[in-house]
Amino acid sequence: MENCEFYNKGLEELKLENYLKAIYYFDLAIQKNKNNFYAYDKRGYSKIFVDDNTSSKDCKKGAEIHVNLLNKIIIKNPYNPNIYYQRGVRMAQLSKLNLALEDFNKVIELKVDFQDAYFSRADLKSDLNDLDGAIEDISLAIITNPNVSKNYYRRSQFKKTKNDINGALIDISKAIDLEPNIKLYYFIRSTIFHELGNIQSAINDRKKMDSFI
């Protein structure tokens, strides 16, 4: 589907920010194949930039088509964690959060070190106001792979939301240790230092941010 000539032309126009032209080509791609969920996704995204209120409708249609396809694939291959992960992402997109949670659970059951599944399940639990569950999931992701900086960054954010400022500081500092060239991490840590009243450390982190420019 993604190799459709019209779809590819739509992608080219999208990269050039020619949104109306992109929509035109994605329209043609959908006319050629009504099940081209990629085209629905990209047409929906393009419509955002031209204030077309049918954008969300396209994204929902793309997700529904994709879920139907993934359901068929799972029947034939019920042990592929990637398929459950894709379906979980789509279920979340369709606001079917409990079904998304079931799929992410299945992914982790099949592949205990599937980092993106922990990350997505944590975000989902956060959306369901289960911050403790979100922190637990990121902690499990860290146990399976302790060298992924974004997990410490994400756990820092969850802890900060819970008002565990010191815990948030420890995690964002670990993220910086792992990847010291990410400007966002220094910004986050500077705000935490500021909340803790450590103004000089906050200033030092802002200076480090400026050094990346």
pLDDT of residue 210: 86
Place of tokens 């019920």: 78
How many CB atoms sit inside 10 A of residue 199's CB? Answer: 11
Residue 128: DSSP 8-state? T
pLDDT of residue 48: 96
Band (1; pLDDT cuts 50, 70, 90): very low
| pLDDT tens digits along 29-82 | 999 999 999 999 999 999 999 999 999 999 999 999 999 999 999 999 999 999
Domain ranges, ordered by start, for the chain: 1-76, 163-213
CATH topology of domain 1-76: 1.25.40
pLDDT of residue 136: 97
The predicted model gives 179-205 an average pLDDT of 96
What per-residue string of b and e applies to 112-121 under the rule 16 or more CB within 10 Å gives b? eebeebbbbb
| pLDDT tens digits along 102-122 | 999 999 999 999 999 999 999
How many CB atoms sit inside 10 A of residue 208's CB? Answer: 18
What percentage of the chain has pLDDT greater than the value 70?
Answer: 98
